[in-house]
Amino acid sequence: MGLSRRRCCSCLFVIILVVVVTFAAAITIRKNRHRSEDGPVPESPGHVVKKYAIALGLAVQFFEVGDPEIDHKCWERPETMTEKRPLTQINATFPGTEVAAETAAALASASLVFKNINSTYSNLLLMHAEQLFTFADTYRGSYSLSIPKVQKYYNSTGYGDELLWAASWLYHATNDHSYLKYVTGEKNGLDLANWLNLTTPWFSWDNKLEGTQILLSRLSFFGLERMSNLEGNGLDQHKQRADIFICSLLTDSPTVSNSKTDGGLIWISEWNSLQHPIGSAFLVVLYSDYMRTSRTATLNCDGQVFTPSDIRSFAISQLEYVLGDNPMKMSYLVGYGKNYPNYVHHRGASIPADATTDCKAGFKWLDSTEPNPNVAVGAVVGGPFQNDSYIDSRNNSMQGEPTTYNSAVLVGLLSSLIASSSSVPMSLS
């Protein structure tokens, strides 16, 4: 695809991902110490890295909501829009397993966060998470087949990953063995994971499988659970996938995937290129924290070994690229540092606050050659091309459009790296 005026909007489950990642991030920075065997010593959080704290303060400020068809006919500020904003529904006849399961995952992870803050609220979240999961699993169907108008923007490649993601969070939130059986059993877990047929093996708005495997790897690392051989075997398979995923990212690994820019950024797609490196780096930090907490000394990638520090350093390299250590010397987090995109493809940022404008008249601000009058603080733009270049132009939606799912994973990554070292609680519930 070339540069175009195709403009994307976010869907419900994209916003939900913000919630899941934010809570997951909150959990990663909780302090914990235990065990005393060989291996790296689990650490309490080190000193706060000031620059990451500043970046995190910006990144949490960005949210957006929209409906693709109606919204794309207009270029106007959300504050002044008068067009209809109809809700779209999924139900038993028009199922949307991705949406229901992703929401279940978000509510289950949120219930963990609120467990010690307000147990009534936590239980309420969990009750709805379980109901939604049952609904998602009973009425299986892809939301983009039920509601074809979303295909042009966010076409799902399948819902198996969301079901496993939801069941994995529900297991952590409830300790109910039926969820562990679900994710490890042949009927659901191994079948839905579709091991050999991954078309999109990258953590993204569409694919939660790598996130699921990292989350489940906690159980293998910490070995806290009583389980049957079948469950143990299923968990081993998830853990193996998690190991393969981490090895495919580390630059010096013999099994590294060659999908990187010369500047060292993981690079998978032209549209919204930053979602994959940021999401992967987030999972990488979690994995390294699990290693340290469980005193696992090394990860062996086909003979080459990596310590938790090596693995964490890789995540930091991706974050540093995003924040400006790249050939363009450009921070892709808007508002951070001195050099960030000035022509972000964003309605609210491009229209002056005092302009009187409407749906159609607003397009002159899209076409204006002036930089944005307002700074979309905290927005994470799509990102660079594979040759590390970036065209700062408002009509360049491929590179210059910010998304909630980029900001969400950046919030997770920054939260996990805000302290100079960290380990994680072994039990979440």
Ligand X SMILES: *[C@@H]1O[C@H](CO)[C@@H](O)[C@H](O)[C@H]1NC(C)=O
Shortest Å distance, C-beta 233 to ligand X: 17
The smaller minimum CB distance to ligand X, of residues 271 and 385, is found at: 385
Cα–Cα distance for residue pair 412/395, rounded to 1 Å: 29
Contact assessment for residue 371 and residue 346, using Cβ atoms and an 8 Å cutoff: no
Q: Which is nearer to ligand X, 399 or 423 (CB)?
A: 399
345 in catalytic set: yes
Q: Which residue has the tokens 């995190």?
A: 56
Q: Which of residues 128-147 bind ligand X (CB under 6 A)?
A: 144, 147
Cα separation, 396 vs 392, whole angstroms: 7
Q: Which is nearer to ligand X, 356 or 369 (CB)?
A: 369
Q: Which of 172, 276, 345, 346 is catalytic?
A: 345
Q: Which residue is nearest to ligand X (CB)?
A: 121
DSSP-assigned states of every residue in 125-165: HHHHHHHHHHHHHHS---HHHHSGGGHHHH--S-SHHHHHH
Residue with Cβ nearer ligand X (276 or 292): 276
- CB closer to ligand X out of 179 and 267: 267
Shortest Å distance, C-beta 405 to ligand X: 18
Binding flag, residue 124, ligand X (CB under 6 A): yes
User: In which region does residue 388 sit, left (phi positive, over 0), alpha (psi from -120 to 50) or beta (all else)?
Assistant: left
Q: How far apart are CA 261 and CA 376, in angstroms?
A: 26
Examine residue 155 and tell whether it contacts ligand X (CB under 6 A): yes
For 54, 138, 356, the CA distances from 202, given in Å and listed in that order, are 28, 27, 43
14: amino acid identity, one letter: V
Q: Are strands 304-306 and 299-301 parallel, antiparallel or unpaired?
A: antiparallel
- Provide the minimum distance between the beta carbon of 58 and ligand X in the complex, in angstroms, as a whole number: 25
Q: Rule CB under 6 A: is residue 197 a binding residue for ligand X? A: yes
Shortest Cβ distance from residue 199 to ligand X (Å)?
A: 9
Helices (H), 115-267: 119-138, 143-146, 151-154, 160-174, 177-184, 191-193, 209-222, 229-249
262 binds ligand X (CB under 6 A): no
Of 89 and 309, the one with the shorter C-beta distance to ligand X is: 89
Quick count: other Cβ atoms within 10 Å of Cβ 271? 15
Q: Which part of the chain contacts ligand X (CB under 6 A), choosing from 20-28, 193-201, 312-320, 370-378?
A: 193-201
Minimum distance, C-beta of residue 186 to ligand X, in the bound complex (Å): 12
Alpha carbons 31 and 175: distance in angstroms, whole number? 21
Question: Which residue of 50, 82, 196, 258 would you call a contact of ligand X, by CB under 6 A?
Answer: 196
**Amino acid letter for position 171:** Y
In the list 228, 389, 427, 429, the residue contacting ligand X (rule: CB under 6 A) is 389
Tell the smallest beta-carbon distance from residue 155 to ligand X (Å).
4
Find where tokens 């065997």 sit: 37
Interface region with ligand X, contact rule CB under 6 A, candidates 42-50, 64-72, 191-199, 355-363: 191-199
String marking each residue 82-121 x if it binds ligand X according to CB under 6 A: ------xx-x-xx-----------------------x-xx
From the CB of 142, what's the least distance to ligand X, in Å? 7
Asked if 35 touches ligand X (CB under 6 A), the answer is no
Instruction: Decide: helix, strand or coil at residue 245.
Output: helix
Cα–Cα distance for residue pair 292/290, rounded to 1 Å: 5
Would you say 153 or 222 has its CB closer to ligand X?
153
Q: What are phi and psi of 183, to 5 degrees?
A: -80, -20
Rounded Cα–Cα distance for residues 378 and 56 (Å): 8
Site for ligand X in 352-381 (CB under 6 A): 369
Query: How many residues line the site for ligand X (CB under 6 A)?
Result: 25
Q: For ligand X, give the closer residue by CB, 159 or 221.
A: 159
CB of 7 to ligand X, least distance (A): 13
Placement of tokens 């978000």 in the chain = 106
Question: Where does this chain bind ligand X (CB under 6 A)?
Answer: 3, 88-89, 91, 93-94, 118, 120-121, 124, 144, 147, 151-152, 155, 194-197, 369, 385, 387, 389, 393, 395
The residues annotated with a catalytic role in the active site are 345
